[in-house]
Amino acid sequence: MNENRAAERPAAPGTELYVNGNRVTVCTEPSKRLLHVLRDELQMTGAKRSCEIGRCGACMVLLDGRPVNACLTMLYQCGGRTVTTIEGIAPQESGGLDPVQQAFLEEGGYQCGYCTPGMIISVKALLDFIPDPTDEEITEALSGNICRCTGYGGIIRSVRRASELKKISSSDA
């Protein structure tokens, strides 16, 4: 090993990240999954635990604005980065809802609600990237989110409605 520039292995495991706008330092194993950091260390239970192998999307969060499965992401991969969970989606100042949340309520985009936090995160990421998505783009964006209840009809309607609501709110602004 090059003595002057030895590879870093933090002696006391402390990872600093930004969760929903707040700087937090988490002192636990760097390979711990983000899902368990959020739920067990930070008591944020919005991201759901289900398959735990990246296949259902219930644990979806945004990492630097892009959707990732919190059950696949390890804490060390979030160092210095921004994590947004379902708890941080709504505008903090007004106490209202994000247009995507509003659309899911209006259009009945959920039944039991277990998939809903993950769905909303994926839809938010989609609309931030493509404000007016095609059917194909919606299908691709939601291909990592499974819903056992709705048959997806209400969810697709919610995406369309959220796109409209976002357009309305940006033209009002």
Ligand X SMILES: Cc1cc2nc3c(=O)[nH]c(=O)nc-3n(C[C@H](O)[C@H](O)[C@H](O)COP(=O)(O)OP(=O)(O)OC[C@H]3O[C@@H](n4cnc5c(N)ncnc54)[C@H](O)[C@@H]3O)c2cc1C
Binding site for other proteins (CB under 8 A): 1-2, 5-9, 29-32, 36, 40, 52-55, 57, 60, 63, 66-69, 72-74, 76-77, 122, 125, 140-141, 143-145
Residue 148 binds ligand FES, judged by CB under 6 A = yes
CA distances from 40 to 2, 35, 53, 63, 153 (A): 38, 8, 18, 19, 34
- Are 12 and 25 in contact, with CB atoms under 8 Å apart? no
Q: List, in order, residues 6 or more apart from 20 with CB less than 8 Å away.
A: 83, 84, 85, 87, 88
Residue from the set 38, 103, 142, 147 that interacts with ligand FES by CB under 6 A: 147
Point out the residue whose Cβ comes nearest to ligand X. Answer: 54
With respect to ligand FES, which residue has the nearer C-beta, 50 or 82? 50
Q: How many residues bind to ligand FES according to rule CB under 6 A?
A: 23
> What is the Cβ-side half-sphere exposure of residue 68, based on CA atoms within 13 angstroms?
20
In this structure, are residues 61 and 119 in contact, taking their beta carbons and an 8 Å threshold? Answer: no
From the list other proteins, ligand FES, ligand X, none, which binds 94 (C-beta under 5 to 8 Å, kind-based)? none
- Told to check if 66 binds ligand X by CB under 6 A, we report no
Which chain residues interact with ligand X by CB under 6 A?
53-55, 72
